[in-house]
Homo-oligomer: A and B are copies of this chain.
Amino acid sequence: MHGVNSISTNPDERAALLQRLVAPVLAELEQTEAVLARQLSSRYGFIQTLVRHIERFRGKRLRPALLLLSARAFGGEAPLATEVAALVEMIHLATLCHDDILDDAATRRSVPTVNAEWGNKAAVMTGDILFSRAFEVLGGLDDARPYKQLSHTARLICEGELLQIASRFNAGLTEEDYFDLIDKKTAQLFGAATELGALLAGASEADGKKLFLYGQRLGMAFQIVDDCLDLMGVETTVGKSLGSDLKNGEPTLPLIHLLAHAETATKLDLLRLFTPGNPNLTRENLRPHLERSGAVEYALKVAHDEIQRARDEIAFLPESASKEVLHDLPHYVLARES
């Protein structure tokens, strides 16, 4: 297998690539960072400590960057954009925080997260305060569109997370189910970010909708690649622990494709493997099957197609540095497998 299996870009190179890409909105991203720092502060010491701890999730700020680039692509002034970009990131951070909640079994593994250090309840409340603070600030804006859009998106994200829990060890999960799940869990917030960026810069509703589709498709591709990496990536290269989808019994696109197209004997083997608590359910044991079946190539092809469709959605934009970045950003998403 080419692709995921033979990752060449390391995390530093990827970070540098992203840094180059977001250059047109670097100043706004710094302002967003300042808004975020202000929102994550509290006069209560304990709350400050917990909320600050979520800085461990300090990521690529991909969603704020997408929002700001989308605004810039429409040229106009977008005074609310940096603030809304920070709030989008807060919602994302809140979901990461709740994603960290461990179930009884997992608790014993003792991961160094908020919940491991201060108990599950503190982790829940930290996520809650990020969520509620984001909605509070959104509610205070003069423009009602961001809170309408993002409170809708937040509900879809929760629904996606619940669908994911419901999908555990469901070997019958269809591609359609999976696409619905990752759309809600991931792609909708990408789409909300790019749509809001456009609208805040004065885009028409119709153009906003196109930017939504751009972000949504990019988000789908992003999640599919992420799921491929969880099965096939090299931990040191990807820069995070992998295989957790499999451990949790969450079927992702390669596995769904593999199960749907395996011969009866192989399929029975796989079904025996894909059971809760089975110590043989490892990436290593699954990999030969995945390689033989071309399931990962299939999944990456789907991601590539989504990205092509994303690019088609923004073809109408006038030429600009920002449009170019929106066109090139998918490189970053796919860099992890190029």
Q: Which residues of A contact B (CB under 8 A)?
A: 42, 44-47, 50, 98, 101-104, 107, 118-122, 124-129, 131-133, 135-136, 138-140, 144, 147-148, 151-152, 154-155, 157-159, 161-163, 165-166
Contact = CB atoms under 8 A, between A and B. Distances in A.
A128 B44 contact: no
Number of copies: 2
Contact of A161 (B107, B125, B139): B125
A128 B161 contact: yes
Given A104-B119, A129-B159, 5 more contacts: A46-B162, A125-B165, A132-B154, A132-B157, A147-B147
SS class of chain A's interface: helix, strand, loop or mixed?
helix
Contacts of A120: 101-104, 120
Given A107-B107, A128-B158, A132-B151, A46 B139 contact: no
Contact of A162 (B44, B102, B148): B44
A136 B163 contact: no
B129 A162 contact: yes
6 contacts: A98-B121, A102-B121, A128-B158, A135-B155, A139-B151, A140-B148
